A and B are shown apart, each in its own frame.
Chain A
């Protein structure tokens, strides 16, 4: 018996798969390409006659070796990690109480201030970097990672406050009231009850802040010149180049190593991240 419905369903499924495959290839191809490039010998890489998709010479670990032992890559990883941890700490210290205050204590003002905070997120680093470069110089933090530790929270704190605010609002007020009836102060209830309960929200802020730190470019480029003190995002494209010669093999290695772990972690927290952006727009 002819099944009309089935043909239509089959076409739909084909279209569905086509869309997914095409987009996945377009979006992920550069990373696949990075992966191949890492293991190619220089002679193979710079030979336009060779099919770039195959290994015409044996795959090699030379590029990775150069990356790890002959460049400052490891140092940049360390700098970035250190800045990341410190900025996460500062962000939490500033954002947790502020978000709680906005979510609980200040009524209608809380709404307005919340929106005000969110608007500061819209002031981009590419607007502030010139004045900030002077501020940093005046404070004597020029060329050190401390300049970044000082400045980075300016873009991590607003969004974190926004994210945590939404999270705190979803914790019923009755729990804190019950704790206060039991003898805790407001602040005590915050520290002993609300913060532990918000573990997943805090974790989201931690992950998100850390990824923002690794992705930042303008401030690091502007404030820091010496190679040894530079961050990952700026060091790799800047110093893995000697004059006009790019060390593509090592460069691609750096890119991939810096990107994939972050992507893995990001994936786990995706839903919370979306919630932060869409609060209020999706009812």
Chain B
């Protein structure tokens, strides 16, 4: 009888300890999440009083808007391009950092800086480096005669270059994070596996592509999925670097949602735009759950 009582208080205590956090999350994530849907189907604006249900009107109009379609495309293009670069770059860097060498701690500190620095501040640093007049990159290009003075690339002014710049800044920011996670996966591989491969006759590249990388697939997936989320849902880089310009050419979904909803006061349209983030997030969530499930089974 004492056991029975004990178990139920145990459960009760568990609920009590979990409840505050659960309540908070419900109120500050689930509630706003639903509100986003409500706004998307309304005509809410900042400042105006009530709001009315307008059905799919918002969605219809944004789907017709070229800047929205542009932003939708950009979100995918920027994310996919930057994450491919990140995957290749961070795997390479992680392989180089795997073995101890003098100064490794200092190198690790340096390469972590892009990830650790507040996003906006790193972006502002890049804005200075890519400045239309005073860019240090252009100065170097001119000095080695790869560009003409006064005709050097407008990194943030010319549409294609601006897109490239955004992709590169995203890559720059996520690379350290990915590297560090992949490094953890690398060090988890037992030492005798690459040795067995060496004895079996595999050279560097075969060992890398047929043994090391396949063994790291779960970790690579984790790094990739998180990198995708961090890039796809970020508005800061675009906001700081180009404000979505030139002429809305580098807008992404989150930044467009901000400009429309907050600066443009059109809460409903802003909410509708931001909801287009959800499909990708659902796919990512599904993939992560599947990975977690597989890990449990093993």
Contacts and interface: CB of A to CB of B under 8 A. Distances in A.
Query: Taking the complex as a whole, does A directly touch B, i.e. does some CB pair lie under 8 Å apart?
Result: yes
Contacts of A55: none
A260 B122 CA distance: 11
A119 interface: yes
A237 B240 contact: yes
Most buried by B among A117, A127, A277: A127
A134 B222 contact: no
A187 B129 CA distance: 55
Interface residues of B, number: 103
Interface string B153-177: 0000000000000000000100110
A28 interface: yes
A211 B25 CA distance: 20
Contact of B125 (A33, A97, A266): A33
Contact of A27 (B172, B233, B270): B172
A128 B235 contact: no
B282 to A, nearest CB: 9
Name the prevailing secondary structure of the B interface residues: helix
Interface stretch (A66-74, A152-160, A198-206): A152-160
Contact of B29 (A104, A105, A154): A154
A282 interface: yes
Given A134-B267, A278-B184, 18 more contacts: A23-B93, A28-B113, A30-B126, A34-B125, A48-B133, A48-B134, A94-B20, A105-B10, A124-B233, A129-B258, A153-B28, A218-B236, A221-B239, A233-B118, A236-B124, A248-B134, A280-B291, A283-B295
8 contacts: A30-B122, A34-B128, A94-B21, A106-B11, A126-B254, A128-B32, A134-B39, A217-B119
Interface of A: 12, 16, 19-20, 23-24, 26-28, 30-31, 33-34, 37, 45-46, 48, 51-53, 93-95, 97-98, 100-102, 104-106, 113, 115, 117-120, 122-135, 150-151, 153-154, 157-158, 161, 186-187, 190, 211, 214-215, 217-218, 221-222, 232-234, 236-237, 246, 248, 251-252, 254-255, 258-260, 262-264, 266-267, 270, 274, 277-278, 280-283
